[in-house]
Amino acid sequence: MPLLVTSAACTDGDSYGALLSFDRNGKPLGTFSNDSRIADPRGLAVDLKEELLFLNSGPLIGCEQESYLM
């Protein structure tokens, strides 16, 4: 199972605006999903019993498109 990290968009600095995945040794695996609805991820929760991943992703406000594309 990959480790998942949220990287909020430009309001918090030079970030990716994506849900990033890493292996257990910290090696980057890339974005977890290319779903266009993931624009500014800020919160992450997992329901292990139901095998669900919840992601809080808000709209990009005041960001230039180039600053959050990978």
Each residue of 15-60: pLDDT tens digit? Answer: 788 889 999 999 999 999 888 888 888 888 989 999 898 988 876 6
Q: Using the predicted structure, report yes or no on whether residue 66 has a pLDDT greater than 70.
A: no
Specify the pTM.
0.69
Q: Which of 39-64 are b and which e, b meaning 16 or more Cβ less than 10 Å from the residue's Cβ? A: bbbeeeeeeeeeeeeebebeebeebe
Residue 67 is predicted with a pLDDT of 37
Residue 21 is predicted with a pLDDT of 93
Residue 30 is predicted with a pLDDT of 92
Residue 8 is predicted with a pLDDT of 77
